[in-house]
Structure 1
Amino acid sequence: MVEPARLRYRRARDSARWCTLILRRQTSMPPVLRHALTTLTLVLGVACASRGRVTELPNGLRYRVLATGRGAEAVSGQRVSIHETTTLPNGTLIYSSRGGNPITFQLGAGQVITGVDQGVTGMRVGERRLLIVPPALSRRTSYPANTPPDSVLHIDVELMQIRP
């Protein structure tokens, strides 16, 4: 019995049901096709599971990769250019460089807050991360008017360029 397209679409929206449906249908398939479909299902499952994963560093900085980049990783001592949007956890906008010139600084030189310095280290050009910066890693001498001094910051960072 062939299912209507509408029913197949509904099942495809829910990945758990979709995977179950594929595994049930594999019993009547040729072995080569069954193997290829099983491999595809596993790869898609791993990709979906790792998407949106939050990584926590030992210093308390957490980040989630929003878009992957290409090329070499940014390391301490290099000059990097980034676009960033900084908000409070409730969504209040503090600062954004998007729509203007990117911020350029040397990694590891203390030219930006520690959370950004450590969060950008290891990124590739084109990569976007959401950094969740605890108060201990966002200390600075002055704060923008609408920023409580001991607040967690959410910083959306995109690495634009790496220079030696």
Structure 2
Amino acid sequence: MTTRSGLQYTRLKKGSGSKAKVGQEILLFETTRYRNGTILYSNEQTTNPVKVLIGGNQATQAVDEALVGMKAGEVKEIIAPPHLVKRTGYPPNVHPDSTLVIKLILHKIL
């Protein structure tokens, strides 16, 4: 599916329970890569999910948008164009004009 903002996503696994909303904190596992498969970041193989406040400017616009409506246990892969992953500071391994593929695993809604 493609949203109005240009975010493309595929639901890889359904979750259960209530849907995540703007203003909620969630625990998230994530793998970010370039389209060619080069992994830029991943905490997926750890036991330490990242805590994110949806809509709290802690994540990129693409991630915030994708998290809304997800349920605990849901897995979603998004293809985020550069305008949805802009940030003020970039890790040295991320080009600022890149389209990124991001796998999101919503571990838990707090």
**TM-score, with structure 2 as normaliser:** 0.95
Deviation at 1:145, TM superposition (A): 1.8
Q: Secondary structure at the match of 2:17?
A: strand
Structure with larger RCO (C-alpha < 8 A, sep 6+): 2
- Point out where structure 2 has 5 or more consecutive residues left out of the alignment: none
Question: Which residue of 11, 15, 26 corresponds with 1:65?
Answer: 11
Report the Cα distance in structure 2 between the residues aligned to 1:84 and 1:122, rounded to whole angstroms.
17
In the TM superposition, residue 110 of structure 1 has moved relative to its aligned partner by 1.0
Higher fraction of strand: 2
1:129 maps onto 2:73 in alignment? no
Would you say 1:103 and 2:50 are equivalent positions?
A: yes
Aligned length: 109
Q: Which runs of 4+ in 1 moved over 4 A?
A: none
Question: Per-residue deviation at 1:146?
Answer: 2.0
Answer whether contact 1:94 1:144 (CA < 8 A) is retained: no
> What is residue 112 of structure 1 aligned with on the other side?
59
Q: CA RMSD in A?
A: 0.8
Could you tell me which amino acid in structure 2 is paired with residue 118 of structure 1? E
Instruction: Tell me how far 1:99 sits from its aligned partner.
Output: 2.5
Normalised by the length of structure 1, the TM-score is 0.65
Q: Which runs of 5+ in 1 are unaligned?
A: 1-54
Structure 1 residue identity aligned to 2:39: L
Q: What amino acid does structure 2 have at the position aligned with 1:99?
A: Q
Q: Could you say which structure has the larger radius of gyration?
A: 1
Q: Secondary structure at the match of 1:117?
A: helix
Percent identity reads 39
